[in-house]
Amino acid sequence: MKQAAIGIYVLLLTQISSKLATCDDYQSVVEEMSPIVREYSIVDSKSKVPVTIYPPHQGSQRRPALLVYLYGSGGSHTVFNLQASSCERLRKLLAERNYYVVVPNLGPRHWMNREASQTLEVLIDQWTKEWNIDGRRVSLMGTSMGAGSALAYGASHPNSLRSICAVMPMTDFAKWAREMPAYGAIMQDAYGGESPSNGKTFQANSAILHADAFARTPLLLIHGTGDQIVPFAHSRSLEAILHAKQYPCTLHTVEGMGHSDEIMKNLQTETVDFFDAAMSDNVAIPER
């Protein structure tokens, strides 16, 4: 399907979504290729990071793009939210549209600490070179811890990503650590014992405190109003701040939905459309 070139990001995304809503795209997508597991060396630390890779469909005529997926707390490159049946269509559409989808093992409870951030930066550089991907065609997606971590990475790498999709994210790490003290203790361990009240990493990783980092990075926030793990207010507050600054941010609210991977069931096509819209030549390209 050819997408009409338009001048602004929001209009482009609206047009693409309305067109796809009129066709049975799910039936037309290619069969999903089996994921590949590989190890990548991190030279400075002399360590190796296992990664699950979902390769794109080989017959695609689109320019390649990279989507890094970050899993929730306790996950790994072999156990992650994107494997859920509620994301099956999303995985297939990404393959059809020539995305390399990678799931790096950054640790089960990294919360985008310094080591995880540095490792991810090195890996992204390796992947774009290996697959000949323009470094400006890199997006992030994450769920729960991975969602907050994707925003945290974006906050520390201002305007360097093409887009970010955050599913049920915590956007104020210190506040969330107080709301969920059991998780707060785990985050303190990940941050070398820092206190949520004055820890530098808690502040640095809170997207809500770094709105300007997303001035040219379209965000898609997906959150349920019934979430008892990460309150819906985290996404709502970030959206309000970004909209006040006229930065590109869309919040998809799922009424009554709790903290569950099922939240993606009816938003899979729209999520891939979001990534595609951000890749449009009519959207400001980030510098790397």
Residue whose token pair is 């059991």: 182
Which secondary-structure segment (H or E) carries 252?
A: strand 249-254
Task: Assess contact for 171 and 149: CB atoms under 8 A.
Answer: no
Say how far apart CA 68 and CA 100 lie, in whole Å. Answer: 8
Say if residue 25's pLDDT is above 80.
no
**Three-class SS of residue 137?**
coil
The upper half-sphere exposure of residue 99, i.e. CA atoms within 13 Å in the direction of its Cβ, equals: 26
Instruction: Give 32-82 pLDDT, tens digit per residue.
Output: 568 999 999 987 767 899 999 999 998 778 899 999 999 999 999 999 999
Is residue 30 included in any domain, yes or no? no
Say if residue 4's pLDDT is above 60.
no
> Which has more pLDDT, 189 or 3?
189
Instruction: Give 111-170 pLDDT, tens digit per residue.
Output: 999 999 999 999 999 999 999 999 999 999 999 999 999 999 999 999 899 999 999 999
Is residue 201 included in any domain, yes or no? yes
| Average pLDDT estimate for 245-257 | 98
The one-letter amino acid code at 102 reads V
Instruction: Give 77-101 pLDDT, tens digit per residue.
Output: 999 999 999 999 999 999 999 999 9
Strands 47-54 and 99-104, sheet pairing: antiparallel
Is residue 23 included in any domain, yes or no? no
Is residue 89 included in any domain, yes or no? yes
Q: Taking all residues of the chain, what is their mean pLDDT, rounded to a whole number? A: 88
Residue whose token pair is 């994210």: 169
pLDDT above 70 covers a percentage of the chain that reads 85
**Three-class SS of residue 223?**
strand
Say how far apart CA 167 and CA 146 lie, in whole Å. Answer: 8
Max Cα–Cα distance, the chain, nearest Å: 52
Task: Give the CATH number for residue 99.
Answer: 3.40.50.1820
Q: Which residues contact 279 (CB under 8 A, 6 or more apart)?
A: 63, 65, 137, 162, 163
Task: Assess contact for 247 and 279: CB atoms under 8 A.
Answer: no
Is residue 29 included in any domain, yes or no? no
- Judging by beta carbons within 10 Å of its beta carbon (0-12, 13-18, 19+), is residue 140 exposed, middle or buried? buried
Is residue 26 included in any domain, yes or no? no
Tell me what pLDDT residue 286 has: 53
Query: pLDDT band at residue 20, thresholds of 50, 70 and 90?
Result: very low
First to last CA, the chain: 30
Domain extent at residue 110: 35-279
Is residue 81 included in any domain, yes or no? yes
**Three-class SS of residue 249?**
strand
- Split into its structural domains, the chain has a count of 1
| Helix pair angle (268-279, 9-20), 10° resolution | 140
Is residue 78 included in any domain, yes or no? yes
The upper half-sphere exposure of residue 188, i.e. CA atoms within 13 Å in the direction of its Cβ, equals: 14
Task: Assess contact for 218 and 277: CB atoms under 8 A.
Answer: yes
